[in-house]
């Protein structure tokens, strides 16, 4: 496994196992399988409603806690200083961990707090900064934040977010936002790096998969790794989990990268964070 280093020196495995849209019933077995095939970075969220199952899988795996990188996220209904402290505590209890490697604000402008989102994020961030200073959370970050949301947060933040987890795949690279985040020293994490599966039948990706003797998913993931992102693929199939981790013994050529850079977004537009209905 390879790692990227956050601005505070903490290392994160560049491939993590995502659990979005993995039901509680599937989460336990999926995470156990992921850990068995070699994943050491697990990404979940309060909104996924599978933290307890993810936590049980981690506990039952017998893998030492210090060998794992565990991420979860603050739910959209929760904002405020005390509320965020409590939410983080509850997530850790469900996950059966004494600390989090990464805690994220999941969305910048949820429906329940749209009337005061700037102040709401600032209050929650203050709580996350406190937990970070205490060592209860090793790194703190954001997800789905665009430049305007980050600027609003930085107006009162004492700790610059260590990462922004955003929707990134071949055909959806959000180049301006990525450049902005990197200028601020943030690692970029790619969720839905396979385009929710939709890009895997793309003709260009299929051609490159043939040229490299790799799967379409491996090509799509390797592309994002070479763009400098951490990737969070998801699968409930053990064989595909292993394939999605097997990314470090080949490299895409400059010509192949240029072809993938030129792909249009043929899946769907990235949600406007100010208009999400949740």
Q: Of 41, 45, 82, 46, which Cα lies nearest the Cα of 58? A: 41
Q: Which position has the token pair 């406007």?
A: 272
Neighbours of 67 (CB within 10 A): 9
3-state secondary structure of 20: coil
Tokens of 214: 């790799």
Q: Which position has the token pair 């097997």?
A: 246
- List the catalytic residues: 48
Q: Which helix (H) or strand (E) holds 94?
A: helix 81-95
DSSP state of 155: T
CB 62 within 8 A of CB 33: no
SS3 letters across 52-86 = HHHHHHHHHHCCCHHHCEEEEEECCCCCCHHHHHH
Q: Of 10, 5, 18, which Cα lies nearest the Cα of 169? A: 18
Q: Which helix (H) or strand (E) holds 96?
A: none
Q: Of 155, 156, 154, which Cα lies nearest the Cα of 164? A: 154
CB 41 within 8 A of CB 13: yes
* 68 vs 62: CA distance, rounded Å: 11
Neighbours of 97 (CB within 10 A): 17
């Amino acid at each position: 496994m390879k790692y990227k280093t956050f601005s505070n020196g903490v290392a994160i495995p560049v491939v993590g196992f995502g659990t979005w849209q993995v039901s509680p019933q599937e989460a336990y077995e999926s995470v156990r399988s992921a850990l068995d095939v070699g994943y050491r970075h697990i990404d979940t969220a309060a909104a996924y409603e599978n933290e307890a199952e993810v936590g049980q899988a981690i506990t039952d795996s017998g893998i030492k806690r210090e060998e794992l990188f565990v991420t979860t996220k603050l739910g959209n209904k929760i904002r405020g200083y005390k509320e965020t402290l409590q939410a983080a505590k509850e997530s850790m209890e469900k996950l059966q961990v004494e600390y989090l490697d990464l805690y994220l604000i999941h969305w910048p402008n949820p429906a329940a707090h749209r009337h005061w989102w700037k102040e709401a994020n600032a209050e929650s961030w203050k709580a996350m900064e406190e937990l970070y200073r205490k060592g209860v959370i090793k790194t703190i970050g954001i997800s789905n934040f665009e430049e305007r949301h980050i600027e609003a947060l930085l107006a009162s933040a004492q700790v610059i977010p260590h990462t922004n987890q955003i929707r990134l795949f071949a055909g959806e690279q959000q180049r301006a936002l990525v450049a902005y985040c990197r200028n601020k020293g943030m690692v970029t994490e790619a969720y839905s790096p396979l385009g929710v599966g939709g890009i895997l039948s793309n003709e260009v990706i299929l051609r490159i998969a043939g040229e490299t003797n790799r799967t379409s998913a491996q090509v799509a993931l390797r592309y994002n790794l070479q763009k400098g992102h951490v990737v969070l693929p998801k699968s409930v199939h053990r064989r595909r989990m292993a394939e999605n981790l097997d990314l470090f013994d080949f490299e895409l050529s400059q010509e192949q990268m240029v072809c993938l850079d030129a792909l249009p977004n043929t899946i769907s537009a990235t949600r406007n964070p100010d208009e999400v209905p949740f």
